[in-house]
């Protein structure tokens, strides 16, 4: 099973980092499902995926998630801008 670490840009221009096995489903949950969305993202909708990485295991994804969460805003902006044009439209909007 493949795991992804992802970076969301929230409506208030903040970032949220998480892990999942299904990017499209998870983005939908963050934007539309109050029971499955993270508490942080529920009040900051709509959300868009601005960056993601494929990881070999849940453990690897969790480690990378922690690394990304610790980055400052400038570094998170750099990550987001590095991939912005490469993310398919069907994933970025739920």
Q: What is the dihedral of CA 72, 35, 31, 80, to 10 degrees?
A: 20
Q: Is the pLDDT of residue 90 over 60?
A: no
* 75 vs 83, higher pLDDT: 75
Confidence of residue 8 (pLDDT cuts 50, 70, 90): very high
User: Per residue in 22-77, pLDDT tens?
Assistant: 999 999 999 999 999 999 999 999 999 999 999 999 999 999 999 999 999 999 99
pLDDT of residue 57: 97
Domain extent listing, the chain = 3-92
Q: Measured between alpha carbons, how far is 90 from 54 in angstroms, rounded to an integer? A: 17
Superfamily covering domain 3-92 = GIY-YIG endonuclease (3.40.1440.10)
Q: Is the pLDDT of residue 5 over 70?
A: yes
């Amino acid at each position: 099973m493949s795991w992804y670490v992802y970076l969301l840009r929230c409506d208030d221009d903040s970032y949220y980092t998480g892990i999942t096995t299904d990017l499209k489903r998870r983005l939908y949950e963050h934007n539309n499902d109050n029971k499955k969305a993270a508490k942080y993202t529920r009040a900051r909708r709509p959300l868009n995926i601005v960056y993601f990485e494929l990881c070999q295991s849940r453990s690897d994804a969790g480690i990378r998630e922690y690394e990304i969460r610790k980055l400052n805003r400038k570094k998170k902006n750099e990550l987001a801008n590095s991939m912005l044009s490469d993310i398919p439209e069907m994933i970025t909007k739920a």
